[in-house]
Every structure is written in structure tokens, then in C-alpha cells.
Amino acid sequence: MNRTRSSELFRKAQELIPGGVNSPVRAFRAVGGTPPFIKSARGSKIYDADGNEYIDYVGSWGPMILGHCHPAITEAAVKALENGASFGAPTELEVEMAELVIKCVPSVEMVRMVNSGTEATMSAIRVARGYTGRDKIVKCEGCYHGHEDSFLVKAGSGLTTFGVPTSPGVPKDVSKNTLTVPYNSLEAVEAIIAANKGEIACIILEPVPGNMGCIEPGAGYLEGLRKITEREGIILIFDEVMSGFRLALGGAQERFGVTPDMTTMGKIIGGGLPVGAYGGKKELMQKVSPVGPVYQAGTLSGNPLAMSAGIVTLKELMKPGVYEALEKKSVRLETGLKKVAAKYPVPASFTRVGSMSTVFFAPGPVFDYESALKSDTARFGKFFMGMLERGVNLAPSQFEAGFMSLAHSDEDIDRTIAAADEVWATL
């Protein structure tokens, strides 16, 4: 595959932008090679600056659940733009968006829109701290909640990919308030609570982690967290920036029947435009300014383009049969890949929850950060490049989830499986 133009652009970009990219994992450092510079996308495919086509399982890291360039989203965003890009004043679109989110997400009685997932999580923990008057937060090792200081401790996604799970530049006075526990261990949560009695404001986690690769919650884990946090007066925050509107209309909390106190959202609710949101019980959300004293604001928050794209996305997802279709496509891919893997002696372990999945090149089972880190990342890199050469775009890191969209056809999926068969034979 010829990627001359991408290589030229990457060379130039590296002189102008750190690593040539505006978000680290895009630089392909974990897999080697040059990232394709993308020019356009449609349906299940993306196209690079050299005109190459790829079946895309990144979907802009989650938002593109309807497929790229969905005509209804384009129409809504263009119409919104024609009415004015931003007003810095309330709009009817924000009311409509809030109504939709509250209707769909079980834990959300009130919601505030922001501009990214990072803003959503940093605001949610501020509310939890403001409400409880406590400073400490608990997060899970390998979960990623955006790049705000408090969360850059044993974090997943790019931090794990590059081997610096705890970022320099975070003051010790901040990170000392972030306690971490392994995902899927209630014993660890009990132990950390016992050691910090009455000091923990909240536990925040991805109910189904996608940022250390996709990990399934063990039986009773989310229910157990709910019970423990209720008992201790600790705010339970589900970071559903990735899983929200993906694992079900109401996210992981609907799928697993566990309702947290607060929820953070992003990705899908913006339909590909920059957006985030946090919401929860009225009692908590009424602590937020101007009703309450917890300050949080945003010049472009509730932006009409983002609201329009998001509203259309949610409405499409509310149509009957959508999640069943996603599940069916995802099962088709999983079944095919498992068959391929069984033909070869390479250790591999599959995880999938709904339309999120990961192939770990590890013997498995993979159920937390430690077990995910046992993966052979060099082998993943080889697999990744082999798939890219065959026109399949996966996330360029072992520690990320792949996403199915409604636009993926059975033919796309079968081509993906055939490509994987060719590549696996070389691993």
C-alpha cells in the first residue's frame, strides 16, 4: 500500500506538532510505521491522503456508531451552522438534548453539557468532592478518564501504551488524593475504604473498561460496588464516555442493571463533534453553579452544531433493533476471529461486551490491568500493521477497544476475518 503523501505530511507534522499529532496514540509509536493521514470517511470506511481505503474499527475512538458521514447528522449540523455557529446563550437544542439523555440514561435526572470527556470527568469529581466535603477519589488501574491531573495515575489508553501510566507534571499534592485499585476486585475496594475511612468522595470507573482493551465486569462486581458505596456514603461515578449509548441506549448501567449516582458521557452523544456531559441525581447536580456553589462553566458548552449532531445520533439509536443489529455484527466478527485464532499456536484471548471488543495477544483470561499487561505488544504491532496493509484499520495499540458500527456490512466483517487469517499465519 502506497502512503507517500501520508509520510510527507507526517514528516512535516512532526516539526510543527508534538509527535505530529494532536492526541498521542494517533502517532503509531506503539505499532511502528507511519499513520495514514485521513482525508474522508463514509459508512464503515475511511480514506487516506493517498486514496487508500480501510474498513474502520476505530470510529473516531467510539463516536461513529452510525458509521461515518451519516446523512442525517450532516444535514442537522449544516442546518445548525447556517443558523449560527455559537451564541453563548441558552438554546432549545440544549433542552432537547437534556431531555433525551435523561430519558435514556437511568442514573441521570439532570445533566450539564461540556466539550469533552475530560471536562465531564473532572467536573463530576468536583461535584462529588463538593457534595461530600472529602478530597480523596478512588479509580481503577488501567481505566482512563481523560487527561485531567487527578486521573493521570495508573491510567489506561495512551499512558499505558507508552509505558508511563503516571504522568509527570501532576503535583504530588494532587495525585496523593487519587487512590487506585485493580478493576474487578471488590476486596481491594473494601481494603482501600477501610484504610481511608470517611475520606473518600467517590469511586470512578469505566463500568466496562475499554481503555486497557475491552474488559468484562465479573459477575456481581458492579452490583458489589453499588452496595459498598451506598453503605459508605461514597458517590459512585460510572464513566460512560465510551460505553454510554454503545452497550445499550442507557449504556453499561442499563445493560448490567446497576445505577450509579453520577454518569459521565461524551463520544457518541456528540455524533463526532466535540462534546461531553455529566449528570446524575438532582440532589448532586443542584450543587452545580449557578444553583449551587460548585463552579463549572464553558464558553462553547452546549454548542448548537454538537447538540444537533448528538440529538440526531441519539434519535437514530432509539429506533428499534439497533442494538440487536450491533450485537449480531459483533458476534459475527468474534466468531470468525476465534476460528482463525484456533488454527494457529499464537496465544490470544478475546474479550467482547456488545460492540466493544479486543484481541489480546496474551494467554488470558484478561480481567484487569495486570492481566492485560501480559500481552505480547510486539506481536500486536505486527498484527496491526498486517491488517492495515490489508485495508483494515484497528486501534493502533493493544490497550484499546475496537468498535463495530451499524454501517459495517457482513461483507466488511468477512473481509476482516479473511485478512486476519492471512496475518495470523505470519505471527
| Helices assigned H by DSSP within 105-220 | 117-132, 158-161, 172-175, 186-195
Fill in the amino acid letter for 381: G
Among 48, 56, 141, 239, binds ligand PLP (CB under 6 A): 239
- Determine the 3-state secondary structure of 263 from DSSP: strand
Candidates 48, 239, 261, 412; catalytic one: 239
Q: How far apart are CA 124 and CA 339, in angstroms?
A: 42
Task: Pick the closest to residue 124 from 97, 103, 145 (CA basis).
Answer: 145
Which secondary structure element, helix H or strand E, spans residue 92, and what is its range?
A: helix 92-104
Within 10 angstroms of residue 293's Cβ, the number of other Cβ atoms is 9
Closer by beta carbon to ligand PLP, 145 or else 255: 145
- Determine the 3-state secondary structure of 118 from DSSP: helix
Per the annotation, the verdict on 54 as an active-site residue is no
Closer by beta carbon to ligand PLP, 401 or else 417: 401
Q: Least distance to ligand PLP from the beta carbon of 121, Å?
A: 6
| Helices assigned H by DSSP within 365-409 | 369-372, 377-389
Q: Least distance to ligand PLP from the beta carbon of 206, Å?
A: 5
Residue in the shown chain whose Cβ atom is closest to ligand PLP:
117
Query: Parallel, antiparallel, or unpaired: how do β-strands 392-393 and 53-56 relate?
Result: parallel
Per the annotation, the verdict on 103 as an active-site residue is no
> Is 361 in contact with 383 (CB distance < 8 Å)?
yes
> Is 131 in contact with 198 (CB distance < 8 Å)?
no
Candidates 54, 131, 144, 183; catalytic one: 144
What are the backbone dihedrals phi and psi of residue 209, each rounded to the nearest 5 degrees, phi first?
-60, 140
400 forms part of the interface with ligand PLP (CB under 6 A): no
Among 266, 280, 302, 310, binds ligand PLP (CB under 6 A): 266
Which residue shows C-alpha cell 458548552?
301
Which secondary structure element, helix H or strand E, spans residue 225, and what is its range?
A: helix 221-232
The stretch near ligand PLP (CB under 6 A) out of 1-9, 138-146, 226-234, 246-254 is 138-146
Fill in the amino acid letter for 153: V
Closer by beta carbon to ligand PLP, 211 or else 398: 211
C-alpha cell at 318: 432509539
Candidates 267, 278, 323, 329; catalytic one: 267
The stretch near ligand PLP (CB under 6 A) out of 38-46, 115-123, 226-234, 307-315 is 115-123
Among 131, 144, 367, 380, binds ligand PLP (CB under 6 A): 144
Number of shown-chain residues binding ligand PLP (CB under 6 A) = 15
> Is 37 in contact with 10 (CB distance < 8 Å)?
yes
Q: Show the site string, 304-343: x = touches ligand PLP by CB under 6 A, - = not.
A: ----------------------------------------
Q: Least distance to ligand PLP from the beta carbon of 266, Å?
A: 5
Q: Least distance to ligand PLP from the beta carbon of 145, Å?
A: 5
Among 150, 211, 371, 416, binds ligand PLP (CB under 6 A): 211
Closer by beta carbon to ligand PLP, 297 or else 346: 297
Which secondary structure element, helix H or strand E, spans residue 402, and what is its range?
A: strand 402-403
146 forms part of the interface with ligand PLP (CB under 6 A): yes
145 forms part of the interface with ligand PLP (CB under 6 A): yes
Closer by beta carbon to ligand PLP, 206 or else 412: 206
Q: At what angle do helices 92-104 and 304-317 cross, to 10 degrees?
A: 30
Among 52, 91, 107, 118, binds ligand PLP (CB under 6 A): 118
241 forms part of the interface with ligand PLP (CB under 6 A): yes
160 forms part of the interface with ligand PLP (CB under 6 A): no
116 forms part of the interface with ligand PLP (CB under 6 A): yes
117 forms part of the interface with ligand PLP (CB under 6 A): yes
What are the backbone dihedrals phi and psi of residue 98, each rounded to the nearest 5 degrees, phi first?
-60, -45
Per the annotation, the verdict on 144 as an active-site residue is yes
Closer by beta carbon to ligand PLP, 211 or else 371: 211
Q: Least distance to ligand PLP from the beta carbon of 240, Å?
A: 7
Closer by beta carbon to ligand PLP, 118 or else 377: 118
The stretch near ligand PLP (CB under 6 A) out of 3-11, 143-151, 389-397, 410-418 is 143-151
- Determine the 3-state secondary structure of 384 from DSSP: helix
Q: How far apart are CA 353 and CA 262, in angstroms?
A: 22
Q: How far apart are CA 273 and CA 63, in angstroms?
A: 9
Alpha carbon 393 to chain centroid distance?
17
Q: How far apart are CA 127 and CA 363, in angstroms?
A: 41
By the criterion CB under 6 A, which residues form the site for ligand PLP?
A: 116-118, 121, 144-146, 206, 210-211, 239, 241-242, 266, 276
Catalytic residues, which ones?
Answer: 144, 239, 267
